[in-house]
């Protein structure tokens, strides 16, 4: 857009959120004129006294063009709501970001997106179902959207990258302040051909708790729907789900073990109208999309597996069994079962949960 450096300078002012920034642009039409407006003109648009004073103070010390150049030199790209490539679903929410910063690439096909979110304190169950749903959604050509947080978000992003899919990571702080720090390498990997890392916050803005509700509305906004895999009663991921409901998007929840506190979030969402799902095909059906997933794992593998391998897969359907119990159930020797389990684990058909316990993948 015209005078983009002035828009970026305005956007850097703490307290000029999307609604106030939009009001300034509606009033002055040109970000340069808004940047140069006097105090009374700023107040007339609804800008609070403190924010108006901060803008004037910053205006006297910030070189607008040098600031824009510094962003570009850091490798950060900028997209505004006035650009043609701005995500269309996001533009339709109540308070879309005026400016988005990103690294990587945002492609037209990323409009086929689904958010996968949940707890930071992920369990083995949550890790398993998050990875499986993400794999199937990637196979169905969905871009996976999440918040780069620990736990479910990390598993969703990592799985999308491992499956050579697309993923968008939406941050609660600036791109120069990747949080959590242990996910910096993951963010770099996403930007190197697997999607984009995005934020509406200025590049040097730290990740603070107050930013995450705003971040969550973007996660919901760029997605066709939200899937919650595992979450506590007060999980922040439920904010994302409720943002989606308010935006008229579909929300899906995976029921979990009744003994786990991390099943309470999905259960409460289901009570509020979210749809319980047990596999990715149900999500596709609800969204009115034809599944391009080859088929369920059982239908795919039965043509290639031996009769013994098929029996093991059937025994582990919805079960977690010790190797001794598998042997007793099938009347196979321990040596025979050990060899079969190793082969099937390498093929990704089953998972070794440790302690001699196995489950279907």
pLDDT of residue 245: 84
pLDDT of residue 221: 93
Residue ranges of E strands in the chain: 77-80, 99-104, 113-117, 143-146, 166-170, 195-199, 225-228, 250-253, 275-276, 320-322, 350-354, 357-360
- Tokens 């749809």 locate to 275
For the chain, the distance separating the N- and C-terminal CA atoms, rounded to the nearest angstrom, is 49
For residue 143, give the nearest of 212, 219, 213, 80 by alpha carbon: 219
Element housing 142 (H / E): none
Determine whether 275 is exposed, middle or buried from the number of CB atoms within 10 Å of its CB (0-12, 13-18, 19+): middle
User: Which structural domains are found in the chain, ordered by start?
Assistant: 1-70 (1.10.150), 108-286 (3.40.50.450), 297-360 (1.10.10.10)
- Tokens 């690439």 locate to 105
What's the length of the chain? 361
Q: What is the pLDDT along the chain (361 residues), one digit of tens a residue?
A: 679 999 999 999 988 888 999 999 999 999 999 999 999 999 999 999 999 999 999 999 999 999 999 999 999 999 999 998 899 889 888 889 999 999 999 998 998 999 999 999 998 889 999 999 999 999 999 999 999 999 999 999 999 999 999 999 999 999 998 999 999 999 999 999 999 999 999 999 998 888 898 999 999 999 999 999 998 877 778 888 888 888 889 999 998 887 888 888 888 888 888 899 998 989 988 888 755 444 444 344 444 678 888 889 888 876 788 999 999 999 999 989 988 998 888 777 888 888 888 887 6
* Euclidean distance between CA atoms 187 and 172, whole angstroms: 13
Distance (Å) of CA 181 to CA 131, 153, 158, 184, 186:
22, 14, 15, 6, 10
pLDDT of residue 5: 95
pLDDT of residue 173: 93
- For 228, the 3-state DSSP assignment is strand
Q: Taking the model in full, what pTM does it have?
A: 0.78
Long-range contacts of 21-24 (CB under 8 A, 24+ apart): 21/98, 22/98, 23/47
- For 321, the 3-state DSSP assignment is strand
DSSP string, 33-102: HHHT--HHHHHHTT--HHHHHHHHHHHTT--HHHHHHHHHHTT-EEEETTSTTS-HHHHTSSS--SEEEE
Q: Is the peptide bond preceding residue 180 cis, with omega within 30 degrees of 0?
A: yes
For residue 101, give the nearest of 13, 206, 12, 197 by alpha carbon: 197
Contact yes or no for 262/123 (Cβ under 8 A)? yes
Contact yes or no for 198/106 (Cβ under 8 A)? yes
pLDDT of residue 294: 42
* Euclidean distance between CA atoms 225 and 222, whole angstroms: 9
């Amino acid at each position: 857009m015209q005078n983009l450096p002035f828009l970026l300078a305005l956007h850097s002012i703490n307290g000029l959120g999307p609604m106030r920034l939009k009001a300034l642009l509606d009033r002055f039409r040109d970000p340069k004129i808004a940047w140069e407006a006097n105090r009374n003109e700023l107040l007339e648009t609804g800008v609070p006294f403190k924010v108006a004073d901060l803008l004037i103070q910053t205006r006297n010390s910030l070189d607008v063009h040098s600031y824009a150049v510094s962003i570009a030199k850091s490798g950060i790209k900028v997209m505004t709501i006035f650009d043609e490539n701005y995500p269309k679903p996001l533009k339709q929410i109540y308070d879309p970001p005026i400016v988005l910063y990103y690294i990587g690439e945002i492609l037209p096909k990323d409009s086929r997106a689904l958010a996968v979110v949940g707890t930071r304190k992920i369990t083995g169950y949550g890790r398993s179902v998050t990875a499986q749903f993400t794999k199937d959604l990637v196979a169905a050509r969905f871009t996976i959207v999440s918040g780069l947080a620990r736990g479910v978000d990390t598993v969703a992003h990592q799985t999308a990258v491992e499956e050579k899919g697309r993923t968008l990571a939406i941050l609660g702080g600036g791109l120069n302040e990747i949080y959590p720090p242990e996910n910096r390498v993951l963010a770099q990997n996403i930007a190197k051909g697997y999607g984009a890392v995005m934020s509406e916050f200025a590049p040097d803005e730290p990740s603070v708790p107050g930013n995450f509700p705003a971040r969550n509305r973007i996660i919901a906004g760029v997605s066709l729907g939200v899937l919650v895999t595992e979450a506590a009663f007060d999980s922040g991921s439920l904010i994302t789900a409720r943002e989606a409901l308010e935006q008229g998007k579909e929300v899906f929840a995976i029921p979990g073990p009744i003994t786990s506190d991390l099943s309470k979030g999905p259960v409460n969402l289901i009570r509020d109208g979210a749809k319980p799902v047990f596999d990715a095909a149900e999500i596709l059906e609800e969204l009115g999309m034809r599944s391009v997933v080859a088929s369920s794992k059982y239908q795919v593998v039965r043509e290639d597996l031996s009769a013994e391998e098929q029996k093991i897969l059937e025994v582990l359907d919805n079960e977690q069994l010790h190797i001794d119990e598998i042997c007793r159930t099938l009347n196979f020797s321990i040596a025979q079962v050990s060899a079969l389990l190793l082969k099937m684990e390498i093929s990704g058909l089953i998972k070794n949960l440790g302690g001699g316990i196995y489950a279907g993948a």
